[in-house]
Amino acid sequence: MTTLAPLPYSVQWADTHITLLNQQALPSITEFIELHSVDDVYDSILTLKVRGAPAIGLTAAFGVALGAKQETTSELGEFKKNVTRHIEKLASSRPTAVNLFWALKRMENTLQAAQSISTAKEALVSEAKAIFAEDEEMCRKIGEHGLSLFTRGDSILTHCNAGGIATARYGTALAPFHLAKERDFPLKVYACETRPVLQGARLTAWELMQAGVDVTLISDNMAAHTIHQKRINGIIVGADRIAANGDTANKIGTLGLAILAKHFGIPFYVAAPSSTFDLSIESGTSIPIEERNEAEITFIQGVRIAPENVKTFNPAFDVTPNHLITSIITENGIITPDFIKNIPHFVN
C-alpha cells in the first residue's frame, strides 16, 4: 500500500474546526489554516485556498458538519432549515466542479433523514468522514488503473493540479505518478504551468517534487513544442465535471492539449472518480463554466502585468469533447469509447 509519506493531508477534520493546507500560499509557504465557520469554508473555496474538484466537495461536506455542530437551536425543524441554508451557501461558492454538489446532496440527504438534532450532528460528521475516506480509496484505485496504461520510461504531460492536495489523498491524474514512484517504476512528468493562477507551477511541481517524482515544468505555450521535442507518450488530466457522453470540463487549457494529442497521435487520458460524473446532463454544452475575477489575468502574484482597464475574459474551465478523449480512468476501471454506451457500466 502506498504511503505518500512526504505529502500531508490537505484537508483534515478537527472536531471544532477544519484544518486546511493553504494552497494559495504554496510553494513559498507551507501553512495550515483553521476554518472555524461555514463562512470560513465558503471563503476558502472561493479564494482557492482549497481547490480541485474532490477537495472542494469534501471540504464543503466538512463545512456542513461544522455548521451543524455549531447550531444552538433545540427545535429540529429550525435546525434543518439553518443547516440547509449552510448547504445553499456552500453550493454557491463555485459552479463547475460537480463533486461539490454531489457531496452537498449526500449531506442534505443525511440531514433530512435525521430524527433528532443530536443524531443529525453525529450523522453529518460521519457522512463527511465517509466522503473523505471514499475519495482516498477511489483515488488509490484510479492510480492503479492509470499506471497500467503507462510503460516504464514514458514521458507524460499533465495540466493544472489533479494531485493529492486536490483530493483526500493520491490525486486523480497524479495518482499514477505517486504509485510509480513508490514502485520504482520510472516515469518522467511534464507539468504545464497553468495560467492564470499557476496550479501547475505552484502546486503540481511542488507536490511531485515533495514525492520525489521526476517533474519538469513548462509554460503553457511550450506544450506543442515539448510534446514533439521530448517525445511525450501521453497526456493525463483530471476533471471537474463529466457529462453522460464523456464530454469533460477541466481547467482552462485542457481542450488545447486534447487537440494537440490528436495532432501528434498520442493518447489523451482523463482521470476522475465517479463523483465527478454528472449523468443528468447529456453533453458538455450544459456544463456551467465559471468566470473568475479579471485580476487573475491582469496581475501575477500581486504585480500588475496588463494595462489598467484592459478588457478581459477569464473562463476557469473549458470542455473537451468526447471524441478527443482516449479513455476515462475511474476507480471502477478504464472507460473507452463508445462513452455513451460504456459510462453506465462504470458509473451510476
Active site residues: 240
In whole angstroms, give the CA distance from residue 180 to residue 183. 5
Q: Does residue number 319 form part of the binding site for ligand MRU (CB under 6 A)?
A: no
At position 253, the amino acid (one-letter code) is G
Q: Does residue number 257 form part of the binding site for ligand MRU (CB under 6 A)?
A: no
Nearest distance, CB of residue 171 and ligand MRU, angstroms = 6
Q: Does residue number 253 form part of the binding site for ligand MRU (CB under 6 A)?
A: no
At position 159, the amino acid (one-letter code) is H
Nearest distance, CB of residue 303 and ligand MRU, angstroms = 21
Query: Which residue of 44, 167, 233, 320 would you call a contact of ligand MRU, by CB under 6 A?
Result: 167
Q: Does residue number 54 form part of the binding site for ligand MRU (CB under 6 A)?
A: yes
Select 4 or 97, whichever has its Cβ closest to ligand MRU.
Answer: 97
Stretch of 109-117, 161-169, 179-187, 259-267 lying at the interface with ligand MRU (CB under 6 A): 161-169
Q: Does residue number 181 form part of the binding site for ligand MRU (CB under 6 A)?
A: no
Q: Is the dihedral of CA 5, 170, 22, 134 positive or negative?
A: negative
Q: Does residue number 316 form part of the binding site for ligand MRU (CB under 6 A)?
A: yes
Q: Does residue number 318 form part of the binding site for ligand MRU (CB under 6 A)?
A: no
Nearest to 106, CA basis, from 271, 274, 238 = 274
Query: Which residue of 57, 164, 238, 284 would you call a contact of ligand MRU, by CB under 6 A?
Result: 238
- Residues marked as binding for substrate? 51-53, 94, 199, 250-251
Q: What is the β-pairing status of strands 299-300 and 277-278?
A: unpaired
Q: Does residue number 156 form part of the binding site for ligand MRU (CB under 6 A)?
A: no
Select 76 or 297, whichever has its Cβ closest to ligand MRU.
Answer: 297
Footprint of ligand MRU on 198-217 (CB under 6 A): 199
Q: Does residue number 172 form part of the binding site for ligand MRU (CB under 6 A)?
A: yes
Select 19 or 24, whichever has its Cβ closest to ligand MRU.
Answer: 24
Query: Which residue of 166, 191, 324, 335 would you call a contact of ligand MRU, by CB under 6 A?
Result: 166
Strands (E), the chain: 11-13, 18-21, 32-35, 155-158, 188-192, 215-218, 234-237, 241-243, 248-251, 268-271, 277-278, 299-300, 303-304, 317-320, 327-330, 333-335
Q: What is the β-pairing status of strands 248-251 and 241-243?
A: antiparallel
In whole angstroms, give the CA distance from residue 222 to residue 334. 29
Q: How far is CA 23 from CA 99, 106, 192, 241, 252, in A?
A: 19, 26, 17, 21, 18
Nearest distance, CB of residue 78 and ligand MRU, angstroms = 34
Size of the site for ligand MRU (CB under 6 A): 18
Burial class from Cβ neighbours inside 10 Å (0-12, 13-18, 19+) for residue 321 reads: middle
* Contact set with ligand MRU (CB under 6 A): 51-54, 97, 160, 162, 166-167, 171-172, 199, 238-240, 250-251, 316
